[in-house]
Amino acid sequence: MVLVMVVCAMPLQTGAVEPATQPTTVPVETPTTRPFMPDNISEAAIELTHRQKAALSAVRDGQDWRETAFFMMLARTAELVDPEASAKEYSSLESPAVGHLTDYPNRYRAQKIRVTMTVFKSRELVSGSKYWDARPDWPRGAKVWYMAGWHVSEDSTKAEDLVVYSVVDPTKLLGEPSGTTTSGEQFYSDRGRSLELAGVYYKTFRQETIRSNQSDRQVRDYPLVLAYYLKPAKTAAAPTSPTGGLSNTVIVALVLLVIALFIVRRQAKRVKSLPIGTGAAGTVKYTPLRNIEDDDLPPDEQSAEPVDPALVDAVKAFENKRKKADGTDDKS
């Protein structure tokens, strides 16, 4: 009997001591509701979902670019395609130097930027093909165009290598290529094809380049931009080569300078050979009255030619005539 009473009393006792839950005006933050902005994303980044930000938080610069965040950002960049709106905002976008993109990628990641680019090679890639795997964020059949070339920023004349993946077809702007490889990569002339683009900066990736002699291997970091707007460049870019070569402008200036010096030298030689005087005296060329070959000899070995007597008599006659005229001997 006593045991039954104790068991029955336990719920009553527990309910009596449990405090009532008080309402709160401050919502409790959880991982799904708390604002999420990784440190490696720009403060001026485009609008991103929580999933996209989480993927970007795992991005590591200087490593391979084929990662989940890349395909996710490709899909997000495709949503920005609006030629009319992009044309209006293009001039207001920041145009950072490539060195800044490489040295401070966190400052620009997922941010809209504008680029003036000289394209030297391009290639169309189709998702699900031999060279491009299909992904959930970039499904089978979706296209993207790879472009590699140089970028010249507004505050620098130095050109740097740049890689762009465009969700907009650049074929019409680039025109006919100079050559095409068996894999579909298209090459352009030595001067390349210039265009302007607006894109979202993604990251830097590290790649080893091998020159034709197969011995010069160089590992470099390349900035990667996802383009959503393309237009023809106002002026054809003629940047300084990243390898340190002279630009076409400098070469032309040096050639013109050499030609100018040649013309001036030739003109001076022609004037020196012309006769002096006019009329009958015009056929007489300048000849020194003394033996100029003796100038390099010691004084005692130089030939001493007498002064022309007629010249001495003329000087004396002039002085006598002046003395008789004014009665002075002023030779000033």
Q: Which pLDDT belongs to residue 250?
A: 63
> Please, what is the average pLDDT of the chain?
75
Greater model confidence, 295 or 96:
96
Residue 219 CB neighbours (<10 A): 9
Question: Does residue 331 register a pLDDT over 90?
Answer: no
Question: Does residue 194 register a pLDDT over 80?
Answer: yes
Q: Which pLDDT belongs to residue 160?
A: 63
- Measured at the CA of 214, the angle between CA 211 and CA 217, to 5 degrees, comes to 65
Cα first-last separation, the chain? 157
Q: Is residue 294 part of a domain?
A: no
| 10-14, 64-68, 84-88, 251-255: segment of lowest average pLDDT | 10-14
Q: Is residue 158 part of a domain?
A: yes
Percent of the chain whose pLDDT exceeds 70: 64
Q: Which pLDDT belongs to residue 114?
A: 95
Q: Is residue 82 part of a domain?
A: yes
Number of structural domains, the chain?
1
pTM: 0.59
Q: Is residue 33 part of a domain?
A: no
Can you tell me the mean pLDDT for 223-236? 87
Whether 177 and 188 have beta carbons less than 8 Å apart is answered as yes
Question: Does residue 286 register a pLDDT over 90?
Answer: no
Q: Which pLDDT belongs to residue 206?
A: 81
Q: Which pLDDT belongs to residue 12?
A: 41
Q: Predicted confidence band at 189 (pLDDT cuts at 50, 70, 90)?
A: confident
Question: Does residue 222 register a pLDDT over 60?
Answer: yes
**Dihedral (CA of 63, 66, 68, 70) sign:** positive
Greater model confidence, 8 or 179:
179
Whether 203 and 222 have beta carbons less than 8 Å apart is answered as no
Q: Is residue 62 part of a domain?
A: yes
Q: Is residue 238 part of a domain?
A: no
Distances in Å between the Cα of 211 and the Cα atoms of 162, 208, 224 are: 18, 10, 21
Q: Which pLDDT belongs to residue 119?
A: 92
| 34-38, 149-153, 189-193, 310-314: segment of lowest average pLDDT | 34-38
Q: Is residue 44 part of a domain?
A: no
Q: Predicted confidence band at 225 (pLDDT cuts at 50, 70, 90)?
A: very high
Q: Which pLDDT belongs to residue 24?
A: 46
Q: Which of 4-18, 163-177, 180-194, 221-235 has the highest mean pLDDT?
A: 163-177
3-state secondary structure the chain: CHHHHHHHHHHHHHHHHCCCCCCCCCCCCCCCCCCCCCCCCCCCECCCCHHHHHHHHCCCCCCCCCCHHHHHHHHHHHCCCCHHHHHHHHHHCECCCHHHHHHCHHHHCCEEEEEEEEEEEEEEEECCECCECCCCCCCCCCEEEEEEEEECCCCCCECEEEEEEECCCCHHHHCCCCEECCCCCEECCCCCEEEEEEEEEEEEEEEEEECCCCCCEEEEEEEEEEEEEEEECCCCCCCECCCCCCCHHHHHHHHHHHHHHHHHHHHHHHHHCCCCCCHHHHHCCCCCCCCHHHHHCCHHHCCCCCCCHHHHHHHHHHHHHHHHHHCCCCCC
Q: Which pLDDT belongs to residue 18?
A: 41
Q: Which pLDDT belongs to residue 326?
A: 63
Question: Does residue 125 register a pLDDT over 90?
Answer: yes
Question: Does residue 163 register a pLDDT over 70?
Answer: yes
Domain that holds residue 55: 50-232
128 Cβ contact partners less than 8 Å away, ≥ 6 residues apart: 134, 139, 140, 141
What are 184's two structure tokens?
A: 């579909």
